[in-house]
Structure formats: C-alpha cells, structure tokens
Amino acid sequence: MSTLEDDIFEAYSGKVIDVHDDLCEIAYPIADFSLDIGGVPQILSVIAGNLFGLDALKAVRLEDCVFPRVIVKEFKGPRFGIEGMRSVLNRPEKPLVGTIVKPKIGLTPKGYGDYIYESGMGGLTNGKDDETLVNQEFCPLEERVVAIATAIDRVRSETGHRIIHAINVSTRGDKILEVAERAQELGASEIMVDVLTAGFAAVQVIAEDPSIKVPIHVHRTMHAAFTRSKEHGIAWSVLARLTRMCGGDAIHIGTFGVGKMQGVSLEDQKSQMACVEPMYGMKPSLSVCSGGVHPALVSKLVEIAGKDIQIQAGGGVAGHPMGVRGGAKAMAQAVDAASSGIPALEYAKDHPELRLALEKWG
C-alpha cells in the first residue's frame, strides 16, 4: 500500500526517462513549475539548481532542455525577431553586419557618435555598446544616446542607409525599465541587456513593456563560467532558449569556433537552433556571432550559420588600416561577397578595403 509520502513523491518528482552512456534524460511534472509568479528564475531552480553542488556528484552538465506548449505559452518571446529586425533595417536577405565600439571603454560621447557615423557611412547595419559600458563618467549614457542618434540620423539623411545601435542599460532590477525608457526617449534605436549579470527578468520586463518600441539585443557576458567546461555546467543552448522566451530579439551565440572566444561548433549550432527552432508560434531570435571576427572570417561564418545571423566585429573594424570607415566597408563587402557566393579574394580585386583587410587578417 502506498503512503501519502509515496503519492507525493510519485506526483512531483522528476522521472528518469532514458539513460544512454553518460547522458540522462529527465522529465518533470508540470505541477513543479510556478509560471505566473516564478517564471524563469523558478524554472532554473528546478532544472538547474542545487544538483550542481551535490557532494555525491563529481560533475554534471545540463546539455539541453525542451519545454512543452503549456510552459512556452506563458512567454511572449521576441517582438521583432529575425523578420522584425530585417524590416527595421530594410535588409531582407543578407546577414546583418555590425560593430562593437572600440576602444571598448574610454571614448567620449562625441568620439562614440563619430565612430557610429563612420560605421554607418561604411555600410554597417548595427552598432552596440560593449558589455562593460553603461553610464561611466567619461561617457554618460544620456549624452551617448543623443550623440549616436544624431550620427544615425546623419547617415540616413546623407545616404538613405539605415543603422541601429544597442544601448547597454544593464543595471539593478528596479531601475532597468526606467533607464531603457529614458534611452528610447532620447533616441536609442535598440536596447541591450547583459542577460546573465542583469537577469532573465531584466530582459523580460523590457521586452514586455508596451512603452518599449525598439528591438532588444542580448549579450551573454559571464556565460563561460557556466558553459566552458564540457564536464560541468550549463550549455548556452538552454540559456539562449530561455532568453528567447523572455523576448531577446538578437542573442549572442558565439562564432562556431571561428573567432577569438573559446567555442565549439556543435555547441553553437545547438544555440542557433534554440534561437530559431519551431516553438509553438514564437518568433525566432536573431543569432549574433561576435568575438574576434574580422572580414577574413565572414565567408566561413556564413557557410556554417547561413544568412539569418548578425555578424559583428569590434577590433575587426577599428583595426583596419584605413580606419573605422574602411573597416566598416571591408566587413560590409565581406558580407556582400559571402551572400552572393563570391570568394572574398575574388571580390577583393574590385574592393580595396576588403583587399587590405584580407592582407592584414587573411
């Protein structure tokens, strides 16, 4: 005869569904989750909580997770997603191509605005703050937003070309929405959140607030503390999927081992899938490939990841022998070549900026 404790255990405990080699599949009853008050923090406490510290386990890694409709429908997901970002930028097919403003910290708002102006004139579609920059004295957020918005307007009025820039608003939870609203009011065309340091709720509160009308770019600074070890931790695909559910329009997924950051192609492919896989009608997020990228790596990235990505280069733009505009042109040319299936070396014959970039980095 089963006791009350047995019944509770049966109803609420996770069940091992399958074990193959050292991989174990576990299913949790839906009753374990508290979605209205709780959400992602509570989901993570169930599926990725104390087990990482259990004395009895030498190491354990959460490799992947699948959520049923009943959980997914509690989340709104991205408002723009891939199609929405493409439509904002009037760029229907080619990969988006962006920069991270370097030096990553230290530029004044004026220097920053000039950088974005040059990037836009060179043909980039996206700029973003570095994760380390928010509201330092040398580059206050409000002044920076205005300088960047002015630069973006100048590019648009002089050439018709569109570029947006993500302003990093990562801060304490009770202030982040206010900061995002203020940034938008002053002209921010995209908002950036560092999801692991600011929290999933930080992305969600901005994405779901009706006053915010611009896309959200999600950086993953600190992720390697969870993801780098293949023995212990959490795969980025799990956290990327949750970020998409919380409303991230563009999410960093790595460079498939091509750039400077430690990365494994298969892991990054899983993360890209988490951004785009069918999810009960939820919009797909745009995968952002960043970290040590330069024009010579673009064709490889497009070959692996396809065109529905945002390719970014910070040093790979600023380090160009012809300066930021030359670097921006070289990146944009590399993306044009890759999108048309033309080898970069051949395309470079008629494009001096790309030629110089390939000479430097190729």
Nearer to ligand CAP by Cβ, of 215 and 316: the residue is: 316
Instruction: Show contacts with ligand CAP in window 187-226 (CB under 6 A).
Output: 220
Strand 23-27 to 164-168 pairing: unpaired
Measured at the alpha carbon of residue 253, what is the angle toward residues 249 and 254, in degrees to the nearest 5?
140
Radius of gyration of the chain (CA): 22
* Minimal distance, residue 130 CB to Mg ion, in Å: 4
**Residue 68 CB coordination number (10 Å):** 10
Q: Which does residue 313 touch among Mg ion, ligand CAP, none (CB within 5 to 8 A, set by kind)?
A: ligand CAP
Nearer to ligand CAP by Cβ, of 39 and 315: the residue is: 315
267 binds ligand CAP (CB under 6 A): no
- CA dist 297 and 301 (Å) reads 6
Nearer to Mg ion by Cβ, of 134 and 358: the residue is: 134
Beta-strand (E) ranges in the chain?
15-20, 23-27, 61-62, 96-100, 126-128, 164-168, 190-194, 216-219, 233-234, 250-252, 286-289, 309-312
Contact window for Mg ion (CB under 5 A) among 124-132, 151-159, 207-215, 261-269: 124-132
- CA dist 33 and 169 (Å) reads 30
Per CB under 5 A, the list member of 118, 130, 308, 336 interacting with Mg ion is 130
Nearer to Mg ion by Cβ, of 294 and 351: the residue is: 294
102: annotated active-site residue: yes
Assigned token pair, 259: 């750039």
Closest CA to 164 of 121, 128, 126, 122: 126
Q: Which of 94, 128, 217, 219 is catalytic?
A: 219
314 binds ligand CAP (CB under 6 A): yes
* Minimal distance, residue 217 CB to ligand CAP, in Å: 11
Residue pair 340/350 in contact by the 8 Å Cβ criterion: no
Per CB under 6 A, the list member of 127, 291, 295, 327 interacting with ligand CAP is 291
* Minimal distance, residue 333 CB to ligand CAP, in Å: 17
- CA dist 272 and 150 (Å) reads 34
Binding site for ligand CAP (CB under 6 A): 100, 102, 104, 130-131, 220, 252, 254, 260-261, 290-293, 313-316
Binding site for Mg ion (CB under 5 A): 130-131
Q: Which are the catalytic amino acids?
A: 102, 219
